[in-house]
Chains A and B, each alone.
Chain A
């Protein structure tokens, strides 16, 4: 390893010390962050000091472009309100959108388990085609690998998305100021996948909402202009994890008002029963935006005027304190720190 490093450059500092990869390293919480920052970033991104974002914005031969990649290993493949194929397209589209780019093209890799019924595959490919058409992105290429039966679970999809950065938009945690408002485009449905997995044996009147958020993002950017500081789609680890990452990156605090959080009763009920915090549940098809205070109302109205944006809310604001953390306050004056998700959300019984 040492021989490969150029003379004079410092060896990459690997801080990841855990002996093996656990499920938690993929769950999007603290462990994921340790892996990415402690192993991937020092070896792969070298000297880059940019905060890790949903998509990288590059300049190649004078042309600016946004690029992102994601893998989808959800189970079950089909869940109420969506399926893996649709999720793969919309997840990628949304990572580009919240980085401030218009999604343009996607390339796809399929990893298929031998024995996968063709109609299952076809259903997902069709779902991808429909989602891509709806979101206005082109599927520009792909690759297929088949592995032995038992070496993968039905099918995995990996996507890479390319987008055109919107002019005048800069998504940067460092641009946050105390007083900025936190907007959430709508309530979460992520518990659907948890329920649809079937291990919990619960039924709920819930639909997950995988959709492209680009039209909403475009509207909110048009309204907020340079007052748009930061965006993210709070998927894995939910709102709590996304905002904790932001608070750590910018060194400021995020204060949420519990009564303003848009959570449907079905999700709340399931979370109460399972001992989960809705703030840790993935919000598919939604995004968070931090907007300058004077433009927040305009941004909110813009969201409200869009289809699918009626339930958008201002859920909190940026403050000096608690620096680097997220605090939830209640109307009766109680408050609690909400941390990143540790590992997967696990139901609590006893």
Chain B
């Protein structure tokens, strides 16, 4: 399959892994953070830890939008959707995320009208097909998905679709990286930069990381070879004592980002003064709200939102895992009270959450001594 197989070529992967071994100083331990949840998932799915030398440690970052969403937001949205005249529409990612009284899927089993959509424009279609109902789209994601929500808002306004609103949970990536870097217990050598987010925001917004924090950051694709090549690029910078922003994912990411997408976002969204992130707490100017010009299509402005706040269970250590301080398996609840089927924390729900990725792909493997390989 084109654009996939080339980036999973065993020969090239082996070569890249050799290059990493050559560049990595055996007397040094490297801690690299992959910011994006998609990278976390890919690292586990492709078993990349098996091909990396043991002194390269990958730390999972905060770039999983489902994982950083506080439970109170889900409770708020579901409480609005209790109204039988409301259709709750969301991405598949959200469906198993637990609220206080269960996930959207569990609410669906109890009779709530919950629909999985693949894009916000599908939610508009739902609104057109169900004129007697109100369709509430639960918007989630970083700058990756925010533009499609923005375009949908513009369309709803232009076409005068009044039985549609967006419950907006969009967040922005830079403040999250800043929060991670400000955290005193965090020592990092470099960043594997988000790929999809960068298709929208470009590479410039990361320059402060290189300039002020003196850490290399390489914007990276999602195939095994992308990840390994990015690690090569980071190691090469470290070896030369450099710290700059590089773009490994050039086939998709333009350096300047996507102006049309940024413009649509600027037209429909403004920064919230602050927003709560699960595990990271309140971060100022880290999330988007819908502009007043689009108030009619903003669920929060249109309806009374209870503003529920839920503290995470004390025993769960989601915050530490999210910041990369703890490995998933080091959390007290991991694999016991907290599993993908009965998740306590959101890191266990999304397949991009580091706990779920670790649980699904890794944890029973951890004790294996046998080397396993397929026949040539």
A and B associate? yes
Chain A residues with CB under 8 Å of chain B are 20-24, 30-31, 199-202, 255, 257-260, 265, 268-269, 272, 274-275, 319-322, 324-325, 327, 329-339, 342-343, 346-350
Q: Distance in Å from the Cβ of B51 to the closest Cβ of chain A?
A: 6
Partner of A322, one of B13, B91, B365, B375: B365
**Given known contacts A199-B118, A200-B118, A350-B141, is B365 in contact with A327 (CB within 8 Å)?**
yes
Which of B40-48, B235-243, B269-277 makes up part of the contact surface? B40-48
Q: Do B118 and A22 touch across chains, with their CB atoms under 8 A apart?
A: no
Min CB–CB distance B50 → chain A (angstroms): 5
Contact of B365 among A269, A335, A347 (CB under 8 A): A335
| Chain A proximity mask over B335-355: 1 for CB below 8 Å, otherwise 0 | 000001100000000111000
With a cutoff of 8 Å between Cβ atoms, the chain A residues found around residue B110 in the complex are 20
Select which of A31, A332, A338, A342 is within 8 A of B10 by beta carbon: A332
B376/A331 in contact, CB under 8 A: yes
Q: Say yes or no for B362: interface residue by CB 8 A criterion.
A: yes
Which among B181-189, B198-206, B319-327, B366-374 touches the partner chain? Answer: B366-374
**Cβ–Cβ < 8 Å partners of B109 in chain A:** 20-23
- The prevalent SS among residues of A at the interface is loop
A–B Cβ pairs within 8 angstroms, 15 of them: A23-B109, A255-B374, A320-B370, A322-B365, A329-B372, A329-B374, A330-B8, A332-B10, A332-B13, A334-B48, A336-B47, A337-B365, A343-B96, A346-B95, A348-B93
Tell me whether B362 and A257 are in contact (CB under 8 A): no
Once bound together, how far apart are the Cα atoms of A349 and B90, in whole Å?
Answer: 10
When distances are taken between beta carbons in the complex, the residues of chain A under 8 Å from B91 are: 347-350
**Is there contact, CB below 8 Å, between A255 and B44?**
no
Bound CA span A321–B47, Å: 17
**Min CB–CB distance B22 → chain A (angstroms):** 17
- Let me know if B46 and A347 touch, CB within 8 A: no
Shortest CB distance A152–B (Å)? 16
CB contacts between A and B, total, < 8 Å: 142
Cβ-closest chain B residue relative to A258: B374
Q: How far is B376's CA from A320's CA once the two chains are assembled, in angstroms?
A: 21
Q: What sequence of 0s and 1s flags, for each residue 104-136 of chain B, a beta carbon within 8 Å of any chain A beta carbon?
A: 011011100001111100100000000000000
B51 near A333: Cβ-Cβ < 8 Å: yes
Name which residue of chain A comes closest to B358, CB basis. A337
Q: Within the assembled complex, what's the spacing in Å between the Cα atoms of A60 and B229? A: 65
- Which residues of the other chain, B, contact A274 by a CB distance below 8 angstroms? 92
Question: Which of A269, A329, A337, A348 contacts B360 (CB under 8 A)?
Answer: A337
Residues of B within 8 A of A (CB): 1, 4, 8, 10, 13-14, 17, 41, 44-48, 50-51, 65-66, 91-93, 95-96, 105-106, 108-110, 115-119, 122, 140-142, 144-145, 224, 340-341, 350-352, 359-365, 368, 370, 372-376
User: Inside 8 A of A30's CB, which chain B residues have their CB?
Assistant: 341
Chain A residues within 8 Å of B105, by CB:
22-24, 343
- Cβ–Cβ < 8 Å partners of B224 in chain A: 332, 334
Chain A, residue nearest B370 (CB): A321
Q: Which residues of A contact B44 (CB under 8 A)?
A: 336
Please report the C-alpha to C-alpha distance between residue A269 and residue B341 in the assembled complex, in whole angstroms. 27
Provide the bound-state CA to CA distance between A327 and B367, in Å.
Answer: 13
Known: A199-B116, A321-B372. 8 other contacts (CB 8 A): A31-B341, A199-B118, A331-B374, A331-B376, A335-B372, A336-B365, A337-B364, A343-B105
CB-CB < 8 A to B361: which residues of A?
336-338
Nearest-neighbour CB distance to chain A for B308, whole angstroms, equals: 22
**Which residues of chain B have C-beta atoms less than 8 A from A343's C-beta?**
96, 105, 341
A334 CB contact (under 8 Å) in B47, B116, B364, B370: B47
Q: Which residues of B contact A257 (CB under 8 A)?
A: 374-375
Query: In the docked arrangement, what's the CA distance between A275 and B45, Å?
Result: 11
Cβ–Cβ contact A334 & B351, under 8 A: no
Q: Closest CB of chain A to B197's CB: distance in Å? A: 10
Known contacts A31-B341, A260-B374, A327-B372; is-contact A334 B46 (Cβ 8 Å): yes
Of the candidates B46, B65, B370, which one forms a contact with A330 in the assembled complex, judged by CB atoms under 8 Å apart? B46
A333 touches B1 (CB 8 A): no
Contact of B351 among A259, A272, A321, A348 (CB under 8 A): A348
A346–B47 CB distance below 8 A: no
